[in-house]
Amino acid sequence: MTARLIDGKALAAEIRQQVAADVQAIKAMNRPVRLAAVIVGSSPAARVYADNQARTFAQAGVDYQLHELPEDITQAQLDAILANLAKDASVTGIMVHLPLPAQLNTQQTQYNIDILKDVEGVNPANIGNVLYGHPIIAPCTALAAVALIDTTGIALQGAEVTVVGASRIAGRPAALLLTERGATVTVCHIHTRDLAAHTRRAEILVVAVGKPGLITRHHVQPGAVVIDIGINRITATDTHGKAISKTVGDVDFAAVAEIASWITPVPGGVGPVTVAMLLKNTVRAARLVHGLDQPF
């Protein structure tokens, strides 16, 4: 391996330390920092996720309120709950766990998350403000990708960047933030005709698709910085030939690390920094709600 590893865990630890200090500073003013997390339905997986999240927020000093709503809740009922959380002065952040059951409209739900309390940056208005170059709160994964690139010290201004994946929550917001930083950005998606032609041009390659092994050595320019947002569970075999389940990204890590200059591992790259950015956004939301920061 010739590439240097971009250490997401170390960056996340740094951000979390700053967040804990910021939370204490707000609380010292006798003002709350409280996140309301909404889960619809009660699958064991969602419950485990919520428990982990509660621990993460507690470690940062953030009060965490879990609202577990019944699987058959109507859109009107959910919207009313979000409206109450928006009005509740003791709640400074709101997030809604996905996926939602089929009777609920995800986009409508996200529209109804108060813009200033929207810690995941998923309200379309918040994504729109990223487009205008004045983010109030930006999506966490996109923020994480940019922060990880910044740790390399490589200048984004004028850099040739390719983003593979154009989802509204990862690829597109990342492309917008990178454009705002002065990079020349190409966005690839399922209809891109010659993916390798675009990825090989990139000095910085950001991948957010959800397909293990999509990016091979053949897709990467030697010396490129590679940020792998993808998270995939695959079955592999260990050294004894036993089947094991493991987490990998979208990039063929071993082969690409031979030619890249910097690369994020999966796990331990974008994932922990995304969580840290969620905490950072939670502080930002609390400061906005308390009038300590202005939206623009």
The least CB distance from residue 270 to ligand NAP, in Å, is: 4
Identify the burial level of 278 via C-beta atoms within 10 angstroms of its C-beta, where 0-12 means exposed, 13-18 middle and 19 or more buried.
Answer: buried
Q: Can you list the positions of beta strands (E) in 73-153?
A: 93-96
The least CB distance from residue 230 to ligand NAP, in Å, is: 4
Report the C-alpha gap between 203 and 159 in whole angstroms: 7
Task: Locate all alpha helices (DSSP H) within 132-259, ordered by sequence.
Answer: 140-151, 171-180, 195-199, 253-256
Contact between 21 and 283 (Cβ < 8 Å): no
Nearer to ligand NAP, 73 or 163 (CB): 163
Nearer to ligand NAP, 159 or 166 (CB): 166
Nearer to ligand NAP, 73 or 174 (CB): 174
Q: Where on the chain is the footprint of ligand NAP (CB under 6 A)?
A: 141, 164-167, 169-171, 188-192, 195, 208-211, 214, 229-232, 270-271, 274
Contact between 276 and 57 (Cβ < 8 Å): no
CA 204 from chain centre, in angstroms, equals 18
Contact between 141 and 169 (Cβ < 8 Å): yes
Provide the residue type at 136 as one letter.
I
Nearer to ligand NAP, 230 or 265 (CB): 230
The pair of structure tokens assigned to 145 is: 């990708």
The least CB distance from residue 70 to ligand NAP, in Å, is: 26
The least CB distance from residue 89 to ligand NAP, in Å, is: 31
The least CB distance from residue 257 to ligand NAP, in Å, is: 18
DSSP SS3 for 57: helix
Nearer to ligand NAP, 66 or 195 (CB): 195
Nearer to ligand NAP, 104 or 188 (CB): 188
The least CB distance from residue 295 to ligand NAP, in Å, is: 25
